[in-house]
C-alpha cells in the first residue's frame, strides 16, 4: 500500500530484460488468420483439392475452347447458302469426315477433326458439349448469385430488426419452404417463358433466351428461403455479441452494424452455402432442359444434349453418355468441393 | 401425447392446408397470366368462336368469380375441368388412370430404397472404415450426385440397348424393373448415408456401452437397441423422398415410356394442355404436402424430445 502511494519510482521495473525473458517474447511463428487456417485445411483435403482443380479446368476449357475451335455450336455444316443440303455431314461418328471434307483431305488439305462426330443436323458435337458445359456452369453460377443476394438481404433484415419485420419475412419463408419446389419450378418455368417471350423481344435479354431468364426468376423467387433462414440464424446469435453493443453505444446505425460487423462474421457460412447452391442450380437447369423447359434451341445445355440424344440412343449412345458424364463430374466435384469448404471454414464442424 | 404435441400437430395441419390453398391459388393465377388465356392455345380462331369458348369455360366472368368457382370445384368435387387435348376426358380421370401405374412404381421404389438403404447403412456403420464401408460410401456418393435422368438414360443405354437384358418400354411388368431401379437408386443412397451416420452416432451413446457391459450379445445390441433409435432420422426423409419420387417419375416415365401420371404431366406441358397442368400440379403438390405432414408428425410422436420449432 505504501509503495502504491509513494511517489518513488520502482527501480525494479526498469531493469533490462534477461535473455531468458527476451526469449519468452520471441514469436515462434507468424500468427495465422482464420482465412489462412481455412485455406491450409482445404489444401490438406485431397478430395476437395482435386475437385477444385477439376472445376477450374472444366471452367477454363469451356470458356477458352470456343475461341479457337473452327466450328460453332449452331452451324449446320451441311447447310450452305445457295447449295442443296449435304446430308453426309449429319450423324458422323467421331473422327470421320463428310464426303466434301474427305475430298479435301484426299487433295492434301487439312480438315479439323470432329472429335465427337456431328449430330443429326450436322453440327460439330464436341463444341456443342463444350458450349453446353459453359451454359450449364453459367446458369448455376448466376442462379446462385441471385439466391445469395435476395437471401442475404432479406435474411439480414429479418435477423437484425426482429419483431414484426422478422415475423412477416419468416412466415413468407415458411410458406415458400413448404411448397413442393420442383413442381412449382416446372409450373413457373412453363408459363414464364410464354409471358416473357413477347416482353423481352428485341432487347439484349432476348439473346439469353426467355427460358433461362425465367429460370433465374424462378430461382430468385423460390430458393432464397433456405439462404435467408441460415443468415437470419447467424445474425440472431451474432447481434447479441459485446462488440455489437459497443458499436451501438458508439452511435452506429443499423446498416453500418449489419455490413461492418454482422455480415463479415457469417461470411464463411454464406460462401459455403452459395458454393453448395451451384450444383443444385445446375441440376435443376439440366432437369428442366430434359423436360424441354431449359435453354432455347439451338443453344445447348448439358441437360438438353442428354435428352436430345435419347432419340438416337441405339445408334449413337456416346452422344448421351458424354454430356451425362460431364454433368455428373461437375455436380460431383462441386459437391465434394463444397463439403471440403465446409469442413475447412466452418469452425463449429471442425472435429 | 401431451397438449404441446397436439398443438404442434394442429399447427402443422393448418400450415399444410394453407400450403395446398396457396398452390391452388398460384396455379390458377399463373395460368391466367399466359398471354391469350389458357384455353385458347396457339391457333388463331374467329372472334365468335373465341367468345363461345370463353363462355363455355366461364372465362367471360370476372377473374375473382372464376377463381372461386375453380377453387370450389377443386376442393368439393376434385373437378379440374376437361382436358384440352384429350377431347371428352376429364383431367381427374386422366390423373386417376396414370396414378395406378405411377403409384405402383413409386411405392415399390420407396419400399425397396428403404429396405436396401437401411441394411446397407447399418452394415457400413458396423464395418466403419473397413473396405466395405468405403466402397458403399463411394458408390452412394456417386449416385447422390447423378441426376435421375442421367441414371435412367445410362441404364437404358446399358441394359436394354447394349445388353438387351430388359425391355426399354415400361408398359409391361418386366418393363417396370428398370424404372423402379432408376427411381430407387437416389433415395436408397441417401437413406444409406443417413442410416450410417445416425447409426454411428447411436453406437457411441452411453446406453449402448451399458448394454454391452451387461453382457448383451452383439446382435441383440444392434437390433434391439441401436437400429431402432438410429432409424428416427430416416422418418424425416419420408416427405422429401416422396417429393423426389414424384419429380423423378417425371423423367423416368419419359425415358422408359411408362404410361403414368409423370408422362401425362410432361406431355401436357409440351402440348400446353393447361387444365391438365393445373390439375396434375395440384394433385402431386397435395400428395407431397400430406407426406411431409405425416413424416413430421410421426417424427414428433416417435421422439417427443425433438423440438421442431
Minimal-distance CA residue of chain B relative to A339: B141
Query: What pLDDT was estimated at residue A271?
Result: 83
> CB distance from B111 to chain A under 8 Å?
no
B291 contacts chain A (CB < 8 A): no
Complex ipTM > 0.95? no
- Interface of chain A against chain B, CB under 8 Å? 174-175, 178-184, 186-188, 190-191, 194-195, 198, 279, 283, 286-287, 290-293, 303, 306-307, 309-310, 313-314, 317, 320-321, 324, 327-328, 331-332, 335-336
**Domains along chain A with CATH numbers:** 37-77+94-349 (1.10.3720.10)
Distance from CA of B57 to the nearest CA of A (A): 20
A332 and B15 within 8 Å at the Cβ level: the answer is no
- Higher pLDDT residue, B60 or A178? A178
Among the partner-chain residues B19, B31, B270, the one whose CB lies closest to the CB of A191 is: B31
Nearest CA in chain A to B18: A175
Instruction: Pick A290's closest partner by Cβ from B27, B149, B284.
Output: B149
CB contact under 8 A, A198 and B254: no
CA A286, CA A308: separation in Å to the nearest integer? 12
Is the Cβ–Cβ distance between B108 and B180 less than 8 Å? Answer: yes
Distance in Å, alpha carbon of A29 to nearest chain B alpha carbon: 36
d(C-alpha A291, C-alpha A190), whole Å: 10
Mind listing the domains of chain B with CATH numbers? 13-77 (no CATH), 98-271 (1.10.3720.10)
The reply to whether B153 touches chain A by the CB within 8 Å rule is yes
Closest chain A residue to B282, measured at CA? A183
How many Cβ pairs closer than 8 A exist between chain A and B?
Answer: 118
Instruction: Tell me which chain B residues have a C-beta less than 8 angstroms from the C-beta of A324.
Output: 150, 153-154
Q: Which of B18, B243, B255 sits opposite A180 (nearest CB)?
A: B243
Q: With a cut of 80, say whether residue B162 has pLDDT above it.
A: no
* Confidence at residue A347, expressed as pLDDT on a 0 to 100 scale: 58
Radius of gyration of chain A (CA): 29
Rounded Cα distance between B285 and A178, Å, is 10
Q: How far away is chain B from the Cα of A297, in angstroms, using its nearest Cα?
A: 15
Per-residue pLDDT of chain A (351 residues; tens, 9 = 90+): 455 555 667 777 788 888 887 777 777 777 777 778 888 888 888 888 999 999 999 999 999 988 888 888 777 777 777 777 777 777 777 777 777 778 888 887 777 788 788 887 778 888 889 988 998 898 889 999 999 999 989 998 898 888 899 999 988 888 888 888 888 888 888 887 777 777 777 777 777 777 788 888 888 888 888 889 888 888 888 888 888 889 889 988 888 888 888 877 888 788 888 888 888 888 888 888 888 787 777 788 888 888 888 777 778 888 888 888 898 889 888 888 888 888 787 755 543
Provide the whole-model pTM: 0.79
Could A331 and B284 be called an inter-chain contact, meaning their C-beta atoms sit closer than 8 Å?
Answer: no
B15 contacts in chain A (CB < 8 Å): 174, 178
Reduced 3-state DSSP string for chain A? CHHHHCCCCCHHHHCCCCHHHHHHHCCCCCCCCHHHHHHHHHHHCHHHHHHHHHHHHHHHHHHHHHHHCCCCCCCCCCCCCCCCCCHHHCCCCCCCCCHHHHHHHHCCCCCCCCCCCECCCCCEHHHHHHHHHHHHHHHHHHHHHHHHHHHHHHHHHHHHHCHHHHHHHHHHHHHHHHCCHHHHHHHHHHHHHHHHHHHHCCCCHHHHCHHHHHHHHHHHHHCHHHHHHHHHHHHHHHCCCHHHHHHHHCCCCHHHHHHHHHHHHCHHHHHHHHHHHHHHHHHHHHHHHHCCCCCCCCCCCHHHHHHHHCCCCCCCCHHHHHHHHHHHHHHHHHHHHHHHHHHHHCHHHCC
Contact B145 A332 (CB under 8 A): yes
pLDDT on residue A55:
92
Task: Report which listed range, A26-30, A83-87, B14-18, B70-74, is most confident.
Answer: B14-18
Answer yes or no: do B157 and A293 touch at CB < 8 A: no
Mean pLDDT across B272-297 = 88
Per-residue pLDDT band at B309 (split at 50, 70, 90): very low
- Average pLDDT, integer, range B7-27: 89
Of B15, B30, B153, the CB nearest to A174: B15
B149 with A307: Cβ contact below 8 A: yes
Instruction: Confirm or reject contact between B116 and chain A (CB < 8 A).
Output: no
For residue range B215-273, list pLDDT tens digits in order.
Answer: 888 788 888 888 888 888 888 888 888 888 888 888 888 888 888 898 888 888 877 78
pLDDT at A348: 59
Instruction: Classify burial at A314, counting beta carbons within 10 Å of its beta carbon; exposed 0-12, middle 13-18, buried 19 or more.
Output: exposed
Instruction: Establish if B242 touches chain A: CB-CB under 8 angstroms.
Output: no
**For B173-190, how does the pLDDT look when each residue is reduced to its tens digit (9 = 90+)?**
778 888 999 999 999 999
Chain B residues in contact with A340 (beta carbon < 8 A): none
Contact of B177 with chain A, judged by CB distance below 8 Å, is answered with no
**CB neighbour list of residue B151: distance below 8 Å, 6 or more residues apart:** B143, B182, B185, B186
- Asked if the Cβ–Cβ distance from A313 to B156 is below 8 Å, we say yes
Nearest-CA distance from B217 to chain A in Å? Answer: 31
pLDDT at B35 > cutoff 90: no
Contact B243 A182 (CB under 8 A): yes
pLDDT above 90: percentage of residues in chain B: 14
pLDDT of residue B65: 84
Amino acid at each position: 500500500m505504501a509503495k502504491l502511494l509513494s511517489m518513488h519510482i520502482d527501480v525494479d521495473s526498469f531493469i533490462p530484460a534477461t535473455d531468458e525473458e527476451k526469449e519468452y517474447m520471441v514469436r515462434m511463428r507468424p500468427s495465422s488468420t482464420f482465412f489462412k487456417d481455412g485455406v491450409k485445411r482445404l489444401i490438406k483435403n485431397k478430395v476437395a483439392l482435386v475437385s477444385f482443380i477439376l472445376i477450374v479446368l472444366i471452367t477454363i476449357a469451356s470458356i477458352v475452347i470456343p475461341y479457337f475451335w473452327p466450328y460453332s455450336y449452331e452451324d449446320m455444316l451441311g447447310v450452305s447458302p445457295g447449295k442443296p443440303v449435304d446430308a453426309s455431314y449429319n450423324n458422323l461418328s467421331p473422327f470421320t469426315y463428310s464426303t466434301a471434307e474427305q475430298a479435301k483431305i484426299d487433295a492434301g488439305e487439312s480438315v479439323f477433326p470432329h472429335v465427337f462426330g456431328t449430330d443429326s443436323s450436322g453440327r460439330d458435337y464436341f463444341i456443342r458439349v463444350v458450349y453446353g458445359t459453359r451454359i450449364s456452369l453459367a446458369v448455376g453460377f448466376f442462379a446462385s448469385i441471385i439466391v445469395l443476394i435476395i437471401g442475404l438481404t432479406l435474411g439480414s433484415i429479418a435477423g437484425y430488426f426482429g419483431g414484426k419485420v422478422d415475423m412477416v419475412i419468416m412466415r413468407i419463408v415458411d410458406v415458400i419452404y413448404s411448397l413442393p419446389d420442383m413442381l412449382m419450378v416446372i409450373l413457373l418455368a412453363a408459363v414464364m417463358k410464354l409471358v416473357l417471350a413477347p416482353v423481352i423481344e428485341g432487347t439484349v435479354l432476348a439473346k439469353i433466351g426467355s427460358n433461362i431468364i425465367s429460370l433465374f426468376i424462378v430461382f430468385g423467387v423460390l430458393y432464397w428461403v433456405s439462404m435467408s433462414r441460415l443468415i437470419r440464424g447467424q445474425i440472431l446469435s451474432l447481434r447479441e455479441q459485446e462488440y455489437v453493443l459497443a458499436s451501438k453505444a458508439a452511435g452506429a446505425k443499423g446498416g453500418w452494424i449489419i455490413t461492418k460487423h454482422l455480415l463479415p462474421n457469417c461470411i464463411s457460412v454464406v460462401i459455403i452455402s452459395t458454393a453448395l447452391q451451384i450444383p443444385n442450380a445446375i441440376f435443376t437447369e439440366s432437369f428442366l432442359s430434359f423436360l424441354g423447359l431449359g435453354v432455347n434451341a439451338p443453344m445447348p445445355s448439358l441437360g438438353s444434349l442428354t435428352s436430345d440424344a435419347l432419340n438416337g440412343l441405339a445408334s449413337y449412345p456416346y452422344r448421351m453418355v458424354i454430356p451425362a458424364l460431364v454433368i455428373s463430374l461437375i455436380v460431383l466435384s462441386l459437391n465434394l468441393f463444397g463439403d471440403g469448404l465446409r469442413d475447412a471454414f466452418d469452425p463449429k464442424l471442425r472435429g | 401425447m401431451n397438449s404441446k404435441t397436439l398443438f404442434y400437430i394442429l399447427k402443422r395441419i393448418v400450415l399444410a392446408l394453407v400450403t395446398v390453398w396457396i398452390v391452388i391459388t398460384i396455379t390458377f393465377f399463373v395460368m391466367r397470366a399466359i398471354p391469350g388465356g389458357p384455353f385458347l392455345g396457339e391457333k388463331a380462331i374467329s372472334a365468335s368462336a373465341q367468345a363461345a369458348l370463353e363462355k363455355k369455360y366461364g372465362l367471360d366472368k370476372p377473374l375473382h368469380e372464376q377463381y372461386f368457382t375453380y377453387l370450389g370445384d377443386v376442393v368439393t368435387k376434385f373437378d379440374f375441368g376437361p382436358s384440352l387435348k384429350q377431347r371428352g376426358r376429364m383431367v381427374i380421370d386422366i390423373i386417376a388412370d396414370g396414378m395406378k401405374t405411377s403409384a405402383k412404381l413409386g411405392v415399390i421404389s420407396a419400399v425397396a430404397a428403404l429396405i436396401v438403404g437401411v441394411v446397407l447403412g447399418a452394415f457400413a456403420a458396423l464395418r466403419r472404415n473397413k473396405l466395405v464401408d468405403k466402397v458403399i460410401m463411394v458408390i452412394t456418393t456417386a449416385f447422390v450426385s447423378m441426376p435421375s435422368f442421367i441414371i435412367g438414360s445410362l441404364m437404358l443405354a446399358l441394359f436394354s440397348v447394349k445388353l438387351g437384358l430388359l425391355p426399354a418400354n415400361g408398359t409391361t411388368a418386366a418393363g417396370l424393373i428398370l424404372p423402379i431401379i432408376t427411381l430407387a437408386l437416389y433415395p436408397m443412397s441417401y437413406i444409406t448415408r443417413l442410416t450410417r451416420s445416425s447409426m454411428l452416432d447411436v453406437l457411441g451413446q452411453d446406453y449402448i456401452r451399458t448394454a454391452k457391459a451387461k453382457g448383451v450379445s452383439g446382435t441383440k445390441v444392434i437390433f434391439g437397441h441401436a437400429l431402432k433409435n438410429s432409424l428416427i432420422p430416416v422418418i424425416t426423409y419420408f416427405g422429401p423422398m416422396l417429393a423426389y419420387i414424384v419429380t423423378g417419375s417425371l423423367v423416368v416415365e419419359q425415358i422408359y415410356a411408362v404410361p403414368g401420371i409423370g408422362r401425362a404431366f410432361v406431355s401436357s406441358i409440351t402440348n400446353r394442355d393447361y387444365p391438365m397442368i393445373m390439375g396434375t400440379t395440384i394433385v402431386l403438390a397435395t400428395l407431397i404436402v400430406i407426406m411431409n405432414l405425416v413424416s413430421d408428425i410421426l417424427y414428433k410422436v416417435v421422439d417427443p424430445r425433438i423440438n421442431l420449432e
